[in-house]
Structure 1
Amino acid sequence: MKANGLILTGAVFLAACSPQKMTQNRIYPETKKIAHTDEYFGQKVEDPYRWLEDDRAEATKDWVQREVAFTNNYLEQIPFREEIRSQLKNIWNYEKIGAPFKEGNYTYFYKNDGLQAQSVLYRTDKNGKTEVFLDPNKFSEKGTTSLAGISFNKKGNLLTYSISEGGSDWNKIIIMDAETKHIIDETIKDVKFSGVSWSGDEGFYYSSYDKPTGSELSAKTDTHKVYFHKLGTKQSQDRLVIGGDSFKRRYMGVGVSDDQRYEILSASEATNGNELYIKDLKNKSDFIPIQKGYSHNTDFIDSKGDIIYALTDRDAPNMRLVKFDIKNPSVWTDVIPESEEVLSVSTGGGYIFAKYMKDAVTSVRQMDYDGKLVRTIELPGVGTASGFSGKDGDKDLYFSYTNYITPGTIYKYNLESGKSEIYQKPNVKFSAEDYVSEQVFYTSKDGTKIPMMINYKKGIKLDGKNPTILYSYGGFNISLQPGFSVVNAIWMENGGIYAVPNIRGGGEYGKKWHDAGTKMQKKNVFDDFIAAGEYLQQKGYTSPEYMALSGRSNGGLLVGATMTMRPDLAKVAFPGVGVLDMLRYNKFTAGAGWSYDYGTAEDSREMFDYLKSYSPVHNVRKGVCYPSTMIITSDHDDRVVPAHSFKFGAELQEKQSCSNPVLVRIEVNAGHGAGRSTEQVIGENADLLSFALYEMGFKTLKK
């Protein structure tokens, strides 16, 4: 649950009582069943809610409206729902300023005054005059159109900015003269999964798919194309650089190196593994293959003349930085060899910054381009440091530091002295000294040791009665490193525990850790999560009646699979924007690209059987008491289409055997998560926290 929350003046305590009495035969909105059967390797699979996949059908829209009304009616009965919303708004209302960055004659930075729907981009000139440069709050009436990205040319006098409407992955690119702030070209439309990379002042590269003929939100998109837009021309004249039938890849992008000498093409078929090609513009070469096939991940980092620097997991599961001569690209030399800690890198001011992760915690070393250590950077504490990037001529860089009980603070770092000073410290109503963040290691089902961070207010009793949110992700090589959230602050201030295990499938221990949670080993992820819950219960932090499971996207799958495997583990479950139909996830949008982690039902009979054995939609059983559940999705989610949540909700509402409610919370004018307005985020988290406490039996928040 990554979001933000509030603190009351004075202590706040929960008044507990026995769990509420519910009517077992709750009347849910009617969901019709239409016979539909698929066959996989001779085995028939019923799919009676297939009709809910059609997001354009009137029947689906009607069902959504009835579910929204049912959910709202239920949530309105929670006596402290508005109090929690007020707490969240109170703590959220502080000034948030991002790290500055230089482009052309200006220094730019993002700022949110507190409760603005979207952060505003400001700039300061050389005379110290500051002005609003881009205000996304003016893009739409309710703040649901967001700024999805910006890209300046080398001189800093031209830029593009991308916008997302209603949270959709389909973006528009708007071209602007940075000096005058005038829009100078027609808007580039129907762009998806794309950055923008300028080539001098002539134009820029971007990527997209052909617009689907069916539903824009759910139709499959699997052939990426790279285009070059020349300024002063129409989008219909944009040159196809690569892609289509002659070079079919699911994801592609072309970037230009900082020195403008190289074009870099990265292409992939899944979310793991890529091909890398580099075109030497100085010597007018074609794209030179650096890495072909999808067995490894290799990313261009920087170039110095003929020498290319790249970060790779080839022969290095924990990553290494290598260099090679563009005239002899098959010979790689280590600059920063692989170590026991997972490596990531950034560059700025003529240096390389090696960021290491051990047990999900960051350390940083400043190095020269030969890999020689300049210094190990002293960080403010044990937590997560990010940033340390900039242009070659910069004398100072910026980084942010945070952990679960330390609000994110921006530091200014001097490259020569190695000294850091606070640049921007947020004025959050939160006293870190009143809280504890501890790391423990527990044992999973197969004996694997798993780290977990447990966060709470000092003075709690380990009596098994503490409301606890267990949150994780477990997939796609994504690491959950410590980070502050005001939402979690409110949860802890109200007596709650927030626990995050770093389960397999993530990247906390490199490629081996990721692979240990993929395909036929995916159940390791669920076992790790279940073992985390059992640990917290065995040690007295909480008990099943006071535990909530939470996760989003792949984490939504984690919650859905866990609650169907172990419905007794927790009282409450929050599968958010989850991948919940594992037999059909690859049929929608770019879902087929997730096959590295999941495999598909078409791969083999063995893979089909394995997916079906844990697919949440296919493992809801009659006669089982499932946790009180709030399924969270959005009407514009074109990453994980809402049909996953709709079908899972219909199955649970039909088969739930006890009084625990099953709600489907559907956000309007929102997508998978990015770009939501502050009001939308606060609303969702107010519902989440209040629902959790209410279902655990709490009736009031007693001061």
Structure 2
Amino acid sequence: MPPSYPESRRADVVEDLHGLRIADPYRWLEDPDAPETADWVRRQNAVTDAHLAELQDRDWFRRTMGAIVHRPRAGVPQKKGGWYFVSRNDGLQAQDVWYVAATLDELLAGGRVIIDPNTLSDQGTDSVSSFTVSADGCYLAYTVSEGGSDWQTFRLLEVATGQPVDDVAIQTKFSSPTWLPDSTSYLYTDFSHAGHAAGTQTAALGGAKLRLHRLGQQQDRDELILEFPENDQLMFWPELSHDHKLVVVTVVEGTENRNRLWVYRVEDVDGLSRLSGPVKLIDEPVAEFSLVRVDGSVLYLSTDLDAPRGRIVRCDLDAFEASGRLELEPLLAEGGATLQAATAAGDVLVTFALQDATPKIDRYALDGRHLGPVEVPGGSVVAVESEAGDSEAFIGMSSVTSPTRAFLLDPATGTVRGLDGLVPAGESTFSPPEVTVQRRSATSADGTAVPYFLIAPAGTDLSRPRPTLLYGYGGFKIPVLADYRPGWSAWLAAGGVLAIANLRGGGEFGSDWYDQGRLANKQNVFDDFIAVGEHLKQTGVTTTGQLALHGRSNGGLLVGAVMTQRPDLAAVALPGVGVLDLLRFHKFTIGAAWISDYGNPDDPDQFQTALAYSPLHNVRPGTSYPATLVLTGDHDDRVVPLHSHKFTAALQHAHSGQAPVLTRVEVATGHGMGKPTQMVAAEWADLLAFAAHHTGLRPAG
């Protein structure tokens, strides 16, 4: 028998949208500060906790996930302002700790603690998301997020002493300080945050402004560099060239993958950096452009203009200013692999591309000559940290069962050596299972081949059906690879099979692949995921009763759409922090930025497209849905929890089957970034125990 669900009041809320009457009975759940919402969350969590407590293997998954996250680990070194930095965790810390040293050898020997986020809050829920260092290496600015919020506060330190710098506390989102050459001023993106200050978690984000802040100056005196009052969805990403002569600003609308590129020259006026310009190098967002490096007046750019899989071009800024014509000289032509990023390293270019969703790293001379591949093992590139003119570069790789492993690259020779000595000493009781990774392909509804990774414990007989976890994302041109997530090791150690799908809408195969999975083509993403699920069953890997679907954020939308379109596809649905109300997503926090993928519900035609797949609006009374665990965080101000709350209430009201439909609402966490180690372990343990129970997976031991 399914559990007895808490009552979810159905209000008489109906709107006329483009001539259609749309009911929204759970709109009261949109207010996270309302006592009624808090009480609903408390009662839902109580029912979920009771169900999870009865799962016979929950303790096994808790122990296993505890052992996994307690493995000592380190990040990828960064060299900034002449200093070396790296994050470490001894396996017992809620947040990673940042260390600094004057040399790489000193960093490998331990270094000195420069930022310890574990001191910021008693529960370990405050985190550091990024940091930047002034050009002279004097100051470090880092961003602090409280309780997983996207809102961040800048804090400053002296690198040499670790002492705090007395300066105004600036709050913003999606921005890090970009230091100017004078090392006493930086650029940042300023948003209106009246809603945040008032405690309104769901308030829509105000228009962005690019400002210049000088240390010791009040924020209301910060110089306005750039704004677009006529379009409050434009965002700015400034970058200082390595020669400190130019600031290149990417101007992009929301999460669109086409952008403008404006260039400001940096001048020294009485010891202070000032910007002149801008030079509107690219002022029509017809393609994606990003800065790779600067060589005098020549800019090296990566772009997908006339190259869906990406290429590298260069242009002369002085010539553009003189003629007004943009001449793009081809340097690296589009190839069979999909270019993901290109960085300057020493006097060469290092490129990261995907060959059938597998990383491929290469070195090129500045004239385009191929200097050779960079041989590093792993299924995903975590980071490439390098800079023009520097003789050292750092690469981080991960695999399905192994977190970040760092390597030192000599850009001139291509020599690589591992930096395993960065990982702190400590003991771990978990040994990741040996696995096999295969590439397979399904056929989507329109005949498109949809590849996926099939990962199983070594020695598994894949001709006999096994409980299988199918993961996907399919959006925003973000590639999904065979990379590390803490829960994968536990599921595989329990004997389960893992499938990771490369759906349209992602970035694995270039801009065309992305365009085929967004806006009017969004249904292709769901068809692709369904096709992979059916292929797993047709090839004997699993059965309907042994298949679980999982995705987060846009992947949560994916699972919500697929389970409402095909409730018979799988036994379990696990939508995490999902965008589930496609008619109102654009009204809250950063939601309007996603119009690039989902369309604008205020447009009649795009409204119809969204309505056709919006999970909340396609829940049908009398339908038997899979065993469902909807996951969210009460401080998520990116995909606000109202999506998950309303979807849960609608499912519980409509569900006619015996499988449970539950929600797990994490307290004092947000969309996922910066979540404390123990919370990460607890969430994965509950998710996997739920999936295992309802697919018949029984871990040995």
Query: Aligning the two structures, in what range does the TM-score lie when normalised by the shorter sequence?
Result: over 0.9
* Aligned residue in 2 for 1:423: 419
Change (3 A) 1:405 1:207: same
Structure 1 residue 317: deviation in Å? 1.5
Structure 1 residue 410: deviation in Å? 1.8
User: 5+ unaligned residues in a row in structure 2: which ranges?
Assistant: 269-274, 321-325
* One-letter amino acid of the structure 1 residue matched with residue 572 of structure 2: V
Structure 1 residue 463: deviation in Å? 5.6
SS of the residue corresponding to residue 310 of structure 1 reads strand
Residues 168 and 217 in structure 2, CA contact (< 8 A), matched pair in contact too: no
Q: Which shifted more, 232-241 or 542-551?
A: 232-241
Residues 222 and 250 in structure 1, CA contact (< 8 A), matched pair in contact too: no
- Report Cα offsets for 1:98-129 as digits up to 9, x if no partner: 23233345322111001311110112235937
* Aligned residue in 2 for 1:277: 262
Structure 1 residue 405: deviation in Å? 4.7
> What is the aligned counterpart of 1:378 among 358, 372, 375?
375
1:99 aligns with 2:76: yes
Structure 1 residue 291: deviation in Å? 1.5
1:398 aligns with 2:398: no
Which stretches of structure 1, 4 residues or more, deviate above 4 A after TM superposition?
Answer: 246-249, 282-285, 425-433
* Aligned residue in 2 for 1:590: 590
- Report Cα offsets for 1:247-282 as digits up to 9, x if no partner: 744312333222211122222223112111101235
1:204 aligns with 2:186: yes
Change (3 A) 1:521 1:222: farther
Rounded Cα–Cα distance in structure 2 between residues aligned with 1:518 and 1:38: 26
Rounded Cα–Cα distance in structure 1 between residues aligned with 2:352 and 2:700: 44
* Aligned residue in 2 for 1:457: 457
Rounded Cα–Cα distance in structure 2 between residues aligned with 1:248 and 1:648: 29
Q: Which shifted more, 256-265 or 515-524?
A: 256-265
Residues 167 and 215 in structure 2, CA contact (< 8 A), matched pair in contact too: no
Change (3 A) 1:131 1:282: closer
SS of the residue corresponding to residue 657 of structure 1 reads coil
Residues 433 and 492 in structure 2, CA contact (< 8 A), matched pair in contact too: no
Matches within 5 A, 1:229-240: 229-240=213-224
Change (3 A) 1:525 1:40: same
Structure 1 residue 548: deviation in Å? 0.5
User: 5+ unaligned residues in a row in structure 1: which ranges?
Assistant: 1-21
* Aligned residue in 1 for 2:272: none
* Aligned residue in 1 for 2:641: 642
Residues 495 and 699 in structure 2, CA contact (< 8 A), matched pair in contact too: no
1:312 aligns with 2:308: no
- Report Cα offsets for 1:537-559 as digits up to 9, x if no partner: 11111101011100000000000
Q: Which shifted more, 104-113 or 635-644?
A: 104-113
Rounded Cα–Cα distance in structure 1 between residues aligned with 2:465 and 2:233: 52
Change (3 A) 1:54 1:362: same
Q: Which shifted more, 666-675 or 199-208?
A: 199-208
SS of the residue corresponding to residue 188 of structure 1 reads coil
> What is the aligned counterpart of 2:202 among 192, 204, 218?
218
Residues 408 and 483 in structure 1, CA contact (< 8 A), matched pair in contact too: no
Q: Which shifted more, 28-37 or 90-99?
A: 90-99
Matches within 5 A, 1:327-346: 327-329=318-320, 330-343=326-339, 344-346=341-343
* Aligned residue in 2 for 1:5: none
* Aligned residue in 2 for 1:350: 347
Structure 1 residue 40: deviation in Å? 1.7
* Aligned residue in 1 for 2:410: 414
Matches within 5 A, 1:236-635: 236-243=220-227, 245=229, 248-272=232-256, 273-281=258-266, 285-329=276-320, 330-343=326-339, 344-380=341-377, 383-405=379-401, 407-424=403-420, 434-462=434-462, 465-604=465-604, 606-635=605-634
SS of the residue corresponding to residue 121 of structure 2 reads coil
* Aligned residue in 1 for 2:88: 111
Matches within 5 A, 1:17-36: 22-23=1-2, 26-36=3-13
- Report Cα offsets for 1:478-514 as digits up to 9, x if no partner: 0012213342111111110010110100011100000
1:69 aligns with 2:46: yes
Structure 1 residue 216: deviation in Å? 3.2
SS of the residue corresponding to residue 545 of structure 1 reads helix
* One-letter amino acid of the structure 2 residue matched with residue 158 of structure 1: Y
Structure 1 residue 130: deviation in Å? 2.3
Residues 564 and 618 in structure 2, CA contact (< 8 A), matched pair in contact too: yes
Change (3 A) 1:269 1:393: closer
Residues 65 and 682 in structure 2, CA contact (< 8 A), matched pair in contact too: no
* Aligned residue in 2 for 1:674: 673
Structure 1 residue 635: deviation in Å? 0.6
- Report Cα offsets for 1:273-328 as digits up to 9, x if no partner: 21111012359741011212333211122211111111111222111111111112
Rounded Cα–Cα distance in structure 1 between residues aligned with 2:382 and 2:409: 12
* Aligned residue in 2 for 1:124: 101
Q: Which shifted more, 293-302 or 465-474?
A: 293-302
Change (3 A) 1:387 1:63: closer
Q: Which shifted more, 586-595 or 261-270?
A: 261-270
Change (3 A) 1:683 1:348: same
Change (3 A) 1:252 1:30: same
* One-letter amino acid of the structure 2 residue matched with residue 528 of structure 1: D
Rounded Cα–Cα distance in structure 2 between residues aligned with 1:50 and 1:279: 46
Residues 347 and 388 in structure 1, CA contact (< 8 A), matched pair in contact too: no
SS of the residue corresponding to residue 117 of structure 1 reads coil
State the aligned residue count.
677
* Aligned residue in 1 for 2:159: 178
Structure 1 residue 446: deviation in Å? 0.9
Rounded Cα–Cα distance in structure 2 between residues aligned with 1:159 and 1:422: 27
- Report Cα offsets for 1:352-385 as digits up to 9, x if no partner: 012221210111211122212222223336x334
Residues 160 and 196 in structure 1, CA contact (< 8 A), matched pair in contact too: yes
Rounded Cα–Cα distance in structure 2 between residues aligned with 1:71 and 1:406: 31
Structure 1 residue 453: deviation in Å? 0.3
* One-letter amino acid of the structure 1 residue matched with residue 87 of structure 2: Y
Structure 1 residue 228: deviation in Å? 1.2
* Aligned residue in 1 for 2:36: 59
Change (3 A) 1:295 1:534: same
Residues 494 and 700 in structure 2, CA contact (< 8 A), matched pair in contact too: no
* Aligned residue in 2 for 1:662: 661
Change (3 A) 1:270 1:244: closer
Rounded Cα–Cα distance in structure 2 between residues aligned with 1:363 and 1:613: 38
Structure 1 residue 29: deviation in Å? 0.6
SS of the residue corresponding to residue 170 of structure 2 reads strand
Change (3 A) 1:406 1:145: closer
Change (3 A) 1:540 1:246: closer
* One-letter amino acid of the structure 1 residue matched with residue 266 of structure 2: L
* One-letter amino acid of the structure 2 residue matched with residue 230 of structure 1: R
Question: If the length of structure 2 is used for normalisation, what is the TM-score?
Answer: 0.93
Structure 1 residue 95: deviation in Å? 1.5
* Aligned residue in 1 for 2:21: 44
